[in-house]
């Protein structure tokens, strides 16, 4: 009975693809992926632990640290399916589009299909216009190579957003790019908990009436890619607005066997990039609740060698730099209010570092990966200047094994 209902849908889908192929070339790609992971303690994470960020702080209950509990899991939800579409020329430009999804979306009790990329692109001789959802420019064209699904987060800004992006190539090696993006799956933290328990909500950017703006320049040759960029974002959690600025610099070298990649970021209010840097409540000159940015610096380095057999390592470091203005203490209890990843009431993440060696075995359609990840997080008591006192460290030992079949 179920198959009879499904048959017309399959027929319509296949017919639509065949008709579309008369005017467009469609390539199907993707992979089937299975991941097994082990953690030595509880962590701030996403996608049921596949997307690992950092260990949670010590939280004592009846003399026991309730976060000192190991965990292990195996999941297939990172499996991915995509379409690359190349169509006829439009307005003198080569037209193309991409649709890509995985199974890491979720509702109340199971995982569902989730959009990763969905954009249209027009390419002229020296310029490119992209409209749709793809990687945010702060994620950029340089990302770490390794088995982990988190791609270096939270040291690497991780975000896919709906955007309009224009790039101009001054020559074969140098280009500049401007983009305006909005928030959908990766959103700023804040006081509104109507959509998510942690207050992550796209309304803060929507209510500010301005997109997240990015301007960058990139130099790209056969082996080297290097670039700089600035990002400016304005959110409106309530009546007052908050503007945040971030600077990024990156470089990479890639040849047939050797890869060297590095990125450094100096930023404000980066919770929409899955980074431990948000904002807090301060005084306002208008008599309303005001906001101040937390600032942070984050850097990573990734080295990989090999082709069929690959060995490599990822090293990351991030540091809280405090707030641009003093936080306002609550009259009732003297506490400070802050929003963002790494904030646990008055305990806040101060600095963090990661060392993650890995090895992978690559066949034409099959890849095996194994990674060990040691992440150390330092927590302390939040102060009015956004720094912490009485810091203490916690460590998470993580092992990841992945098997992927590409097509």
pLDDT in tens, 371-397: 999 999 999 999 999 999 999 999 999
Q: Could you tell me if residue 342 is inside a domain?
A: yes
For range 346-362, the mean pLDDT = 97
For range 146-165, the mean pLDDT = 96
Q: Could you tell me if residue 353 is inside a domain?
A: yes
What share of the chain in percent tops pLDDT 70? 92
Domain extent for 105: 28-36+74-406
Confidence bin at 141 (pLDDT 50/70/90): very high
Residue by residue, DSSP assigns 96-126 as: EEEEEEEEEEE-SSSEEEEEEEEEEEEE-SS
Q: Could you tell me if residue 364 is inside a domain?
A: yes
| pLDDT score, position 247 | 98
Whether the per-residue pLDDT at 241 is higher than 70: the answer is yes
Q: Could you tell me if residue 299 is inside a domain?
A: yes
Q: Which of 46-50, 193-197, 263-267 comes out lowest in average pLDDT?
A: 193-197
Whether the per-residue pLDDT at 287 is higher than 90: the answer is no
For range 14-22, the mean pLDDT = 49
Distance CA 143, CA 291 (A): 32
| pLDDT score, position 331 | 87
Q: Could you tell me if residue 310 is inside a domain?
A: yes
Whether the per-residue pLDDT at 18 is higher than 80: the answer is no
Q: Residue 362's closest CA among 326, 329, 403? A: 403
Distances (CA, A) of 171 to 31, 177, 225, 250, 321: 35, 13, 14, 20, 38
Confidence bin at 126 (pLDDT 50/70/90): very high
Q: At 286, which CATH number?
A: 2.40.160.10
Q: Could you tell me if residue 69 is inside a domain?
A: no
What's the domain count of the chain? 1
Whether the per-residue pLDDT at 42 is higher than 80: the answer is yes
pLDDT per position as a tens digit, 307-331? 999 999 999 999 999 999 999 999 8
Whether the per-residue pLDDT at 10 is higher than 70: the answer is no
For range 190-217, the mean pLDDT = 85
Higher pLDDT, 8 or 27: 27
| pLDDT score, position 11 | 44
| pLDDT score, position 221 | 96
Q: Could you tell me if residue 228 is inside a domain?
A: yes
Burial (Cβ within 10 Å: 0-12, 13-18, ≥19) of residue 389: exposed
Q: Could you tell me if residue 387 is inside a domain?
A: yes
Q: What is the pTM of this model?
A: 0.90
């Amino acid at each position: 009975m179920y198959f009879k209902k499904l048959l017309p849908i399959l027929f319509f889908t296949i017919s639509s693809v065949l008709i579309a192929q008369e005017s467009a070339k469609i390539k199907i790609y993707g992979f089937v992926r299975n991941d097994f992971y082990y953690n030595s303690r509880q962590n701030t994470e996403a996608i049921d632990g596949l997307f690992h960020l950092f260990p949670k702080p010590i939280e004592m209950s009846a003399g026991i640290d309730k976060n000192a509990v190991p965990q292990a899991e195996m999941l297939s939800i990172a499996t991915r399916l995509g379409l690359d579409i190349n169509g006829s020329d439009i307005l003198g430009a080569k037209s193309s589009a991409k649709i890509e999804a995985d199974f890491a979306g979720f509702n109340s009790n199971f995982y569902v299909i989730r959009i990763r990329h969905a954009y249209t692109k027009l390419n002229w001789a020296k310029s490119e216009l992209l409209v749709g959802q793809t990687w945010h420019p702060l994620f950029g064209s340089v990302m770490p190579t390794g088995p982990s699904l988190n791609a270096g987060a939270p040291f690497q800004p991780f975000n896919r957003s709906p955007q309009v992006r224009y790039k101009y190539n001054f020559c074969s090696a140098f280009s500049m790019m401007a983009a305006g993006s909005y928030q959908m799956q990766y959103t700023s933290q804040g006081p509104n908990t109507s959509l998510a328990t942690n207050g992550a909500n796209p309304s803060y950017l929507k209510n500010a009436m301005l997109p997240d703006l990015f301007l960058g320049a990139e130099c790209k040759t056969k082996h080297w890619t290097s670039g700089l960029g600035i990002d400016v974002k304005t959110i409106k959690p309530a009546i007052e607005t908050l503007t945040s600025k971030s600077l990024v610099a990156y470089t990479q070298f890639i040849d047939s066997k050797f890869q060297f990649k590095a990125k450094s970021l100096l930023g404000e209010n980066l919770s929409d990039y899955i980074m431990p840097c948000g904002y807090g409540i301060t005084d306002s000159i208008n008599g309303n609740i005001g906001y101040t940015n937390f600032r942070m610096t984050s850097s990573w380095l990734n080295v990989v060698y090999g082709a069929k057999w690959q060995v490599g390592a990822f090293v990351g470091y991030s540091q809280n730099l405090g707030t641009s203005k003093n936080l306002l203490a609550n009259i009732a209890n003297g506490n400070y209010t802050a929003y963002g990843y790494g904030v646990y009431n008055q305990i806040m993440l101060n600095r963090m570092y990661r060392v993650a060696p890995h090895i992978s075995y690559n066949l034409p359609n099959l890849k095996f990966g194994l990674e060990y990840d040691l992440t150390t997080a330092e927590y302390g008591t939040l102060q009015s200047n956004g720094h912490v006192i009485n810091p203490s460290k916690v460590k998470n030992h993580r092992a990841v094994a992945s098997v992927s079949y590409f097509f």
